[in-house]
Amino acid sequence: MQNKAAFKSGFKDGIPIGLGYFAVAFSLGIAAKNAGLSPFEGFLTSFLCNASAGEYAGFTIIAAGATYIEMALATLVANARYLLMSCAMSQRLDNKMPFFHRFIMGFYITDELFGAAIARPGTLNPFYTYGAATAAAPCWAIGTALGVLAGNLLPARVVSAFSVALYGMFLAIIIPPARKSKIILGLIAVCFALSIAASYIPYVCELSEGTRTIILTVAISTVAALLFPVKDEEECEVVAE
């Protein structure tokens, strides 16, 4: 019964994520079309790879006729931030959770699905992720396929406007906890400021966006953990007793 409720909650939260995915995947599909992929190939790529930056890098490399090794390295750098998300999520899982649950949850770690799951209190239920992925993943794959079909028929400004919905989802993830905690609000502001600064700082700006994200994430989270440590529930219970 608990798993069923978690699945329904995840599916409900996954619907707006899926709508945002569809819009972004549509423009991604146009990049796939330019790389020579068919609608089915675009669908299969997005079905097996839940990463916009990684897929775009892959399509660009395919269009350039580069090697498999170059593609592997480029997608590894673009998607390396998911390693950090996996580590963070692993700390919220039950120690007795079977491996196959961890494996499936790891496959569906994206910026938005991770943000929605990690914001939930307590131990993470894998069925929440399953519900969210059930609603969002098909939109990502179908949107890519339709983007390939549309090709370059739509004006570039229209296609670019589709991606605005994704930024709205990010705001929906960070605003609620920021309203409850001034510390989180301050850290979000610091993240925004440093992310912008990293795009202009010499040498740092030459790094890929994924690499900059990893460096900033590790640095900011480390400083935040040292300055604003969060007590475990067990420690809080001991203090209360």
Phi, psi dihedrals of residue 94, rounded to the nearest 5°: -70, 135
Task: Work out the average pLDDT over 50-55.
Answer: 82
CA distances 132 to 4, 14, 31, 154, 202, Å, are: 13, 4, 26, 30, 40
C-beta neighbour count of 83 within 10 angstroms: 12
Kindly state the tokens that stand for 221: 């989270």
Q: Which residue has the higher pLDDT, 74 or 87?
A: 87
Q: Show the CA angle centred on residue 210, arms to residues 20 and 25, nearest 5°.
A: 25
Compute the mean pLDDT over every residue in the chain, rounded to the nearest whole number. 83
Q: How far apart are CA 16 and CA 164, in angstroms?
A: 13
Domain map (residue ranges) of the chain: 2-165, 181-232
Q: Is the pLDDT of residue 235 over 50?
A: no
Q: Predicted confidence band at 61 (pLDDT cuts at 50, 70, 90)? A: confident
